[in-house]
């Protein structure tokens, strides 16, 4: 069997045929497994493009640390994730070692998942850099499964500056196999009616659950391929492997009925503003942050939610976008706290390389106020500020939001509206 494998730059018309030129049957193949390629390394290379094409390892070089990510050039030396760093550095002595930046990886991961959710509502994250997508509901809007897969890869490259591999099939298990087999930066579709034919060409370790110990056990039975597993009676597999024997036999026949199950672990509330004229002015930026902080805090309290993480978004005049986030403790729903944190994040950016086109603030990791732990403070002004905001909520509910604004925002409002009546 020669399934469709899209190489980097392959045109969408070429995606509809396999390597033998046969038109592919995409029906029923609505499940995708999308996996970023060497994720941590790829994120680091965005800022260090001179290292592209060289062996690169992300991990702490001292102590008993392990490899967190390795470029494909480093993998040619045998370097693998979770390998002791000391071993990896002996195997690839010319590799460039980069200390990990977990905050940055989480930030890019959130952008990856946001991109996936813009394609389909049915997204099941597996880790920071991979997820299952069911695109059945997006076919009418975005085209065939292969066209949607190509769209995902283009957007990951254009929006995030990294690459992804996409496996497409009729089940999660087979989609995961497909993405693994087309790495790096590829796409592979396994047709539903030819799934078994394809699986039976693979080595047994391609099946989920076949690690080193299970592989050794199976090989002692003369089982070396997925086809060998399929030909082995279920009873023999169960006697040898226990309860996992039946599951392994089902996988060898492509049986995996599990649906893609959306997981909503991250919720957020935010607001942003695009300036009429791009600006460098700190006063303009911080005043807008104050306005946005009050807007976000009011929405949080209205929804009876509080958050633990604060994020700042900046879009420059050339449309490049950066974001920064920080943990703020529990129970964040006060405009004063949001504003103080947002200004601190803005200051930490240092000198801006360009004028700012857009600024935004967002509170993430939300929980219900009834269940979220409270953030206590020894400074009574913190409580006073929040109490004043709550009072403002009540006034706004009765008389309208325009009746209560922070004093600092009055000047900008008067500039827009002109002087009031005398």
Q: Output the known binding site for Mg(2+).
A: 35, 129
Using alpha carbons, select from 15, 239, 262, 247 the residue that is nearest to residue 116: 262
Alpha-carbon gap, residue 321 to 108, rounded angstroms: 12
DSSP H/E element including 313: strand 305-316
The answer to whether 70 and 41 have CB atoms below 8 angstroms apart is: yes
d(CA 110, CA 374): 26
* Lookup result for tokens 């986030």: 325
Cα separation, 207 vs 178, whole angstroms: 12
State the pairing for strand pair 56-58/164-169.
unpaired
Nearest to residue 74, comparing CAs of 56, 93, 90, 86? 56
- The neighbour count for residue 330, using CB atoms within 10 Å, is 15
Locate tokens 């690839």: which residue? 92
For the annotated catalytic residues, the residue numbers are 130
Distance CA 56, CA 315 (A): 30
Structure tokens at 259: 């649906």
Yes or no: say if 279 and 285 are a contact pair by the CB < 8 Å rule: yes
Which residue has tokens 């939001």?
A: 401
d(CA 21, CA 230): 29
How far is it, in rounded angstroms, from Cα 153 to Cα 147?
A: 10
Q: Which helix (H) or strand (E) holds 80?
A: none
Q: Give the chain's end-to-end CA distance (angstroms, integer).
A: 84
H-helix or E-strand containing 357? Answer: strand 356-364
Strand positions, DSSP E, 63-146: 69-70, 96-98, 123-127, 130-134
Specify the pairing of strand 268-279 against strand 356-364. antiparallel
Q: 195 with 185: CB under 8 angstroms?
A: no
Vertex 298: Cα angle to 293 and 302 (nearest 5): 150
């Amino acid at each position: 069997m020669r399934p469709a494998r899209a190489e980097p730059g392959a045109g969408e018309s070429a995606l509809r045929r396999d390597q033998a030129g046969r038109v592919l049957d995409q029906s029923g193949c609505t499940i995708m497994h999308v996996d970023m390629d060497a994720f941590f390394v790829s994120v680091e290379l965005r800022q260090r493009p001179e290292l592209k094409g060289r062996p690169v390892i992300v991990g702490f070089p001292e102590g008993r640390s392990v490899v967190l990510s390795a470029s494909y050039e480093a993998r040619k030396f045998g370097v693998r994730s979770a390998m002791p760093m000391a071993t990896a550095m002996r195997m690839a002595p010319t590799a460039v070692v980069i200390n990990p930046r977990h905050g940055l990886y989480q930030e890019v991961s959130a952008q990856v998942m946001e991109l996936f959710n813009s394609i389909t509502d049915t997204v099941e994250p597996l880790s920071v850099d991979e997820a299952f997508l069911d695109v059945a509901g997006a076919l009418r809007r975005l085209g065939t499964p292969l066209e949607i897969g190509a769209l995902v890869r283009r957007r990951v490259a254009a929006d995030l500056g990294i690459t992804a591999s996409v496996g497409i099939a009729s089940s999660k298990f087979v989609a995961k196999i497909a993405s693994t087999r087309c790495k790096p930066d590829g796409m592979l579709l396994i047709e539903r009616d030819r799934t078994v034919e394809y699986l039976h060409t693979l080595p047994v370790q391609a099946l989920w659950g076949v690690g080193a110990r299970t592989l050794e056990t199976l090989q002692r039975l003369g089982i070396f391929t997925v086809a060998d597993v399929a030909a082995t009676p279920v009873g023999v597999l169960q006697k040898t492997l226990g309860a996992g024997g039946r599951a392994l036999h089902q996988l060898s026949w492509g049986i995996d009925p599990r649906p893609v199950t959306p997981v909503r672990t991250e919720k957020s509330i935010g607001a942003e503003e695009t300036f009429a004229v791009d600006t460098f002015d700190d006063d303009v930026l911080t005043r807008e942050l104050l306005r946005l902080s009050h807007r976000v805090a009011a929405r949080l309290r209205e929804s009876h939610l509080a958050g633990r993480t604060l994020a700042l978004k900046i879009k420059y005049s050339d449309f490049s976008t950066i974001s920064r986030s920080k943990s703020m403790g529990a129970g964040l729903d006060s405009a004063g706290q949001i504003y103080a944190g947002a200004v601190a994040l803005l200051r930490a950016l240092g000198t801006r390389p360009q004028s700012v086109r857009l600024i935004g603030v967002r509170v993430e990791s939300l929980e219900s106020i009834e269940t979220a732990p409270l953030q206590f403070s020894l400074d009574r002004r913190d409580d006073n500020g929040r109490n004043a905001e709550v009072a403002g909520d009540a006034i706004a509910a009765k008389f309208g939001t325009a009746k209560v604004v922070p004093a600092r925002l009055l000047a900008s409002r008067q500039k827009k509206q002109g002087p009031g009546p005398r």
